[in-house]
Structure 1
């Protein structure tokens, strides 16, 4: 169940320019409608939304759809850039650490970067609570750096009861067989082993955190540790925000929250098919699709999902499946009137107050673990 791995025709010039021009014309044509929806409360997709939230959700949907239809994955750099000494390149661990689903004839563990927040670690880092953060972006967007991840990381440090964050720049997937599974999951394991073995942070001081596609990676990394990491110590806990538990359930037309979220089918399809490129039975593979594949774990899990988002129903089902496994501890928080991944995008979409409340709850959970 894998789509063609070729770029869409509109990814190439001059078709790209013509398509962008035509699409921006439709955006301009829709602006009066979006403004009407925003300023007349009875017309808003959700009765509790503000004018800004309504307008920005419409804009975010259109811009996400535009980029997804072109489908060009950004190239990542291992140069320090604006992050300077906070950006660190790390090398893979011993090859024996990458077993089972992390072995591939094509995709090998490689060098990967990450950004430290609020600063490069000092000698006292081993005494602090450190988050390994895996960002969202459908496996095709994001880099863990300031511009993309600055808001959630800053909020976690200020309100989430953690001292430092290592935000991973895992490899992104793309058409033409660019970094498919298990590239990103290999990188997540590389980063976790780096914190435990190289930086020597006690595992009970490490919080594994992920939102959206990063939530998928956090879940599957935890599963990997339980199934194959017999000698690898477990993290303190896992915190998940709108985790993508069913990547191949991307047809939003049948979703009850399709009108109150900004995720288009084009974005989800792009991410699912490029990440799972070449894999058979991807919709049922436990390392691609957590939904329907619960597992036992001793690690406490915190899950947040907005009840107005596309992933809400799937998240509730996955939480129930995990809770049904004996001795699992899963806390589920329903974020009222929230669309997808306010943890990452609150400052853009106007959900700052809601996101900050959620991160306060995350902090309480982390301290109790």
Structure 2
């Protein structure tokens, strides 16, 4: 199936009622998950995508690659991979909902993309998801054989916050610094209450329900739960994307400012006219596809930097 390019106003009209019905704090989590999985069928995979199911860090996962077997082997031999952590407020989202986005990253980075089905709240509150992400990264290093500095962590919304928390834990506890962080509208502090009631995708009541479900009986001051409050020194190159219309826009702006103050190399893109994690609809909306391509280029350059020898 070829990409199409819906005009942004049309896409917004189509998506608004879908998200308002699906991401609703009054709806059971299991039903939200089911509806999102069903809706993901409208997000096609690029031609030539290969999806291999496996277990990673003790959890179900998918290994997504692009191109022929020989091309795939060359990419693996180069030692580059992306570990992608999906969004969904730590309570919804799945391998299915983010398979199309991850597949596009695999095609555009030329690297293998691993998508992790980490445990979700409220059944498995913090730090279950963080523990799963940590173990997945360590397995890629210790069992699969990737170098830590050739594995990028990427994620959207809650998955972006989880990527940051995972990087902080890997650096502090294992001495592993990932190649890069690729963060789409990262939710880095669930304690912060949005300034507005909603954007096109998420609402304040739904986000507060997610934050409470994820915290469970934990400590809200734990930097693993709110990584914006954690150690930002020593993080790898980081790319943050967010749309100006999002509830998380202000939080992302503050996060980028804190990263720069900590001396991190940061790239920051603010789009206008998209919506929260519009990159999920990259096959349907050209500006979302362009944003995802920029993220893929950043990750590719961080994972497989061009050497002087390569340049001749």
TM interval, short-chain normalised: 0.7 to 0.9
**Residue 85 of structure 2: aligned partner:** 134
Tell me if 1:166 matches 2:114: yes
Which of 61, 65, 79 lines up with 2:20 in the alignment?
61
Structure 1 gap segments, 5+ residues each:
1-47, 77-82, 92-110
Cα distance in 2, alignment partners of residues 149 and 291 from structure 1: 24
Cα distance in 2, alignment partners of residues 267 and 331 from structure 1: 29
Q: Which has the larger radius of gyration?
A: 1
Which of 94, 105, 126 lines up with 1:156 in the alignment?
105
CA contact (8 A) 1:216 1:244 kept: yes
Superposition RMSD in Å? 2.7
**Residue 311 of structure 1: aligned partner:** 248
CA contact (8 A) 2:154 2:183 kept: yes
Cα distance in 2, alignment partners of residues 72 and 210 from structure 1: 21
Cα distance in 2, alignment partners of residues 344 and 236 from structure 1: 23
**Residue 102 of structure 1: aligned partner:** none
Which of 99, 104, 114 lines up with 2:61 in the alignment?
114
1:253-272, Cα deviation, whole Å (9 max, x unpaired): x32xx454220233212221
Query: What's the CA shift for 1:288?
Result: 1.3
**Residue 240 of structure 1: aligned partner:** 183
Tell me if 1:143 matches 2:82: no
Question: Against the structure 1 CA distance between its residues 316 and 84, is the aligned structure 2 distance closer, same or farther, given a 3 Å change threshold?
Answer: closer
Please give the TM-score of this superposition, normalised by the length of structure 2: 0.80
Query: What's the CA shift for 1:205?
Result: 2.1
SS at match of 1:285: coil
Please give the TM-score of this superposition, normalised by the length of structure 1: 0.68
**Residue 213 of structure 2: aligned partner:** 274
List aligned pairs for 1:153-302, cutoff 5 A: 153-159=102-108, 161-174=109-122, 178-230=123-175, 233-250=176-193, 252=194, 254-255=195-196, 258=197, 260-280=199-219, 282=220, 284-302=221-239
SS at match of 1:131: strand
1:43-83, Cα deviation, whole Å (9 max, x unpaired): xxxxx941331342233123311xx313334799xxxxxx9
CA contact (8 A) 2:198 2:247 kept: no
Cα distance in 2, alignment partners of residues 181 and 358 from structure 1: 30
Cα distance in 2, alignment partners of residues 356 and 128 from structure 1: 26
Cα distance in 2, alignment partners of residues 245 and 359 from structure 1: 20
Cα distance in 2, alignment partners of residues 265 and 345 from structure 1: 23
Query: How many residues end up aligned between the 2 structures?
Result: 277
Cα distance in 2, alignment partners of residues 173 and 199 from structure 1: 28
Which of 322, 337, 354 lines up with 2:287 in the alignment?
354
Query: What's the CA shift for 1:124?
Result: 6.4
CA contact (8 A) 1:135 1:167 kept: yes
SS at match of 1:299: coil
Query: What's the CA shift for 1:368?
Result: 3.5
Query: What's the CA shift for 1:220?
Result: 0.3
CA contact (8 A) 2:75 2:110 kept: no
Query: What's the CA shift for 1:123?
Result: 8.8
Cα distance in 2, alignment partners of residues 60 and 72 from structure 1: 14
SS at match of 2:97: helix
Structure 2 gap segments, 5+ residues each:
1-6, 35-48, 303-312
Query: What's the CA shift for 1:227?
Result: 1.9
